[in-house]
Amino acid sequence: MSAVADPRPDDESARVGIPAARRPGMRPEAPWDDPALGDIIVPAGELQDRIAVLGAAITADYARRPPLLVGVLKGACIFLSDLARAIALPVEMDFMAVSSYGTATRTSGVVRIVKDLDLDLSGRHVLIVEDIVDSGLTLSFLRRNLAARHPASLSVCALLVKEGLQSTPLDLSYEGFRIPPEFVVGYGLDVAERYRNLPFICEYLEGEPPDVAAPS
């Protein structure tokens, strides 16, 4: 499966198929004008435009083998809801929740399954749907864990990838945006369970969030 083509051929980032997101100075407006929030990294409209592109690519790639979408709770719930509606195939969905130990802003790579899947993956075309890849450790755990359940195929769709932080190649079939290596919230992403319902992705400014080992 190939990387997703971007519809804007003049854009340098379109050459590699993945838009680089950054909107310096674009601030959240009321009712989201919270001083803990920094610049908007991906506006709501661009999220929806990119998800339409990803959905069309997945529809084409999986035409004769509708995928089982595996959403990683809680962060991917909003992305998965929109992505599934952008895929014109009879997809199925299942969810798992993992907890990564470490601080709220940095995982240690020690991952534990908090909620497992309901469905059997054997012989299924599985597409993992992730909110954000930071170190890549959570994803590499998930990939190893799900591959051991004998799916017919296993691919990954991640909405956001932080630039320059992964030590091993990620091998993502579908990527939404490359973002700077800053802590971000919104569109499913939280800090201490807040801000998941922002319709855009923005920087989180206010200090180090408290240590947690909660489902991501």
Under the binding rule (CB under 6 A), the answer on residue 155 touching ligand IMP is: no
Residue 188: strand, helix, or coil: coil
Q: Report the C-alpha gap between 171 and 50 in whole angstroms.
A: 19
| Residue in 134, 171, 190, 211 annotated catalytic | 134
Residue (of 97, 88, 169, 165) closest to 131 by Cα position: 97
Nearer Cβ to ligand IMP, position 91 or 139? 139
| Pattern 64-83, Mg ion, x by CB under 5 A | -----------x--------
Q: Is 134 a catalytic residue?
A: yes
**At closest approach, how far in Å is the CB of 151 from ligand IMP?**
20
| Pattern 106-135, ligand IMP, x by CB under 6 A | -x----------------------xxxxxx
- Beta-sheet strand order (sheet of 184-185): 37-42, 201-204, 184-185
Residue 100 binding target from ligand IMP, Mg ion, none, CB below 5 to 8 Å by type: ligand IMP
Which residues contact residue 25 at a Cβ distance below 8 angstroms, ignoring those fewer than 6 apart?
39
Catalytic residues, by residue number, are 134
